[in-house]
C-alpha cells in the first residue's frame, strides 16, 4: 500500500512541475498589450464590436459583389437572388447575416494574415476572405466529396480559379482527407502555428462538428475569430447545441449567433 501511495505522489509531483502550455499569440488588430502594466486582458473587442461589419445591407452588398464573379451553381444562384430580394424589398434596415457576410466582415476588420478553413468545397467562403485580404496565407481542409449536396465539386483546381477571380495573390495550401485525422496531424507538424480566423464548415454530424471545433479552438490567436456555419439548418438540428456546448460555454471565447432566417451562423472572438 505504501509503495502505491509513493508512486501516486510522484505522479502528482511530476504533473505539478510540468510547464504550462505556451500562451497563444495576439491578433494585432484586436488586442492591446502594455508589458509590465497590463490591467485588462489583451482582447479589445468582442463580437458586438463587429456586428455592423458582419450583418446588414452593406455586408450583404459586398458579399453579393463577390458572388457575382464566382462560378455558378444552383445554390449560388439562389443566394444571389435571395440577397437581391432582401436588399430591394427590405432595404437598408435588413438584419441578415450568413457565413459569407461574417467571413467578409471579420477578414476586413481584422486584416487577417493567416486563415484556416475546414470544409472548402467550391471555395466561396474562402473567396470572401481572400477578397478582403488578397495576400493572406490560407490553409484549407476537405475530403472533396464528389457531387456534394447534389452539385459538382471539382476540388482544389476550381478553388484556385475562384480565388484568382477575386484577386487573391497569397499562398494557399490544400490538405486532402478526413479532418478528424488531417487537422490534428497538421497541428502536430506545426506546433507553433496560430490563426487570425478559422472556419469550421465540414462534417455536420454531431460528433464530427464537435471534434472539428475542439481541434481548432486552441490554435486561434487571442483576439482572433472562429466561425461556425449552419447553426439553424433544418437538416442538421444538433449543430446549434454543439455550438453552445463547445463554444458559447467556453470562457475563453465571447460568442454571437444569428439564427433568425437562413441556415444561421455563429462566430466567436477569443479573449484569453
Q: 190, 212, 253: which is closest to 46 by C-alpha?
A: 253
Q: Give me the DSSP letters along 194-241.
A: -EEEEEE-S--SHHHHHHHHHHHGGGEEEEEEEEEE-TT-TT-TTHHH
pLDDT of residue 8 exceeding 70 = no
Mean pLDDT of 124-145: 96
Provide the pLDDT for residue 60.
98
pLDDT of residue 147 exceeding 80 = no
User: Residue 200's beta-bridge partner residues?
Assistant: 118, 228
Provide the pLDDT for residue 152.
78
φ/ψ of 56, rounded to 5, equals 115, 180
The better pLDDT of the pair 14, 228 is held by: 228
pTM of the model: 0.91
Structure confidence by residue, pLDDT tens digits, 33-71: 999 999 999 999 999 999 999 999 999 999 999 999 999
Structure confidence by residue, pLDDT tens digits, 82-122: 999 999 999 999 999 999 999 999 999 999 999 999 999 99
Provide the pLDDT for residue 7.
57
- Across the chain, mean pLDDT equals 92
How far, in Å, CA of 272 to CA of 264, rounded?
Answer: 26
Provide the pLDDT for residue 16.
39
Task: Let me know: does 62 contact 127? Beta carbons within 8 Å.
Answer: no
pLDDT of residue 19 exceeding 80 = no
Go through the domains of the chain in sequence order and give each one's CATH number.
42-270 (3.40.50.150)
How far, in Å, CA of 15 to CA of 27, rounded?
Answer: 31
Task: Let me know: does 30 contact 238? Beta carbons within 8 Å.
Answer: no
Three cell numbers, residue 3: 509503495
- What angle is formed at CA 70 by the lines to CA 78 and CA 213, rounded to 5 degrees? 75
Query: Quick one: pLDDT band at residue 18, thresholds 50, 70, 90?
Result: very low
Q: Are strands 195-200 and 114-118 parallel, antiparallel or unpaired?
A: parallel
Structure confidence by residue, pLDDT tens digits, 167-209: 999 999 999 999 999 999 999 999 999 999 999 999 999 999 9
Provide the pLDDT for residue 154.
82
pLDDT of residue 156 exceeding 50 = yes
Task: Let me know: does 209 contact 200? Beta carbons within 8 Å.
Answer: yes
Amino acid at each position: 500500500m505504501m509503495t502505491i501511495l509513493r508512486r501516486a505522489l510522484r505522479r502528482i509531483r511530476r504533473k505539478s512541475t510540468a510547464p504550462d502550455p505556451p500562451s497563444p499569440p495576439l491578433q494585432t488588430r484586436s488586442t492591446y498589450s502594455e508589458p509590465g502594466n497590463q490591467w485588462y486582458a489583451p482582447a479589445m473587442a468582442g463580437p458586438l464590436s463587429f456586428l455592423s461589419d458582419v450583418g446588414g445591407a452593406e455586408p450583404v452588398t459586398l458579399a453579393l459583389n463577390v458572388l457575382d464573379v464566382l462560378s455558378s451553381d444552383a445554390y449560388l444562384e439562389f443566394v444571389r437572388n435571395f440577397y437581391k430580394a432582401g436588399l430591394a424589398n427590405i432595404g437598408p434596415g435588413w438584419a441578415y447575416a450568413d457565413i459569407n457576410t461574417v467571413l467578409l466582415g471579420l477578414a476586413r476588420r481584422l486584416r487577417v494574415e493567416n486563415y484556416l478553413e475546414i470544409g472548402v468545397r467550391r471555395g466561396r467562403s474562402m473567396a470572401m476572405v481572400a477578397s478582403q485580404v488578397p495576400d493572406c496565407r490560407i490553409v484549407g481542409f476537405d475530403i472533396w466529396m464528389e457531387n456534394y449536396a447534389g452539385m459538382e465539386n471539382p476540388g482544389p483546381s476550381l478553388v484556385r480559379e475562384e480565388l484568382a477571380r477575386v484577386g487573391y495573390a497569397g499562398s494557399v495550401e490544400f490538405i486532402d482527407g478526413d479532418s478528424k485525422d488531417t487537422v490534428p496531424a497538421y497541428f502536430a507538424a506545426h506546433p507553433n502555428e496560430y490563426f487570425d480566423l478559422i472556419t469550421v464548415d465540414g462534417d455536420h454530424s454531431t460528433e464530427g462538428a464537435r471534434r472539428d471545433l475542439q481541434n481548432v479552438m486552441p490554435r486561434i490567436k487571442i483576439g482572433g475569430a472562429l466561425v461556425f456555419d449552419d447553426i439553424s439548418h433544418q437538416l442538421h438540428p444538433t449543430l446549434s447545441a454543439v455550438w453552445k456546448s463547445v463554444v458559447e460555454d467556453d470562457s475563453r471565447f465571447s460568442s454571437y449567433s444569428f439564427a433568425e432566417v437562413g441556415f444561421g451562423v455563429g462566430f466567436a472572438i477569443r479573449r484569453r
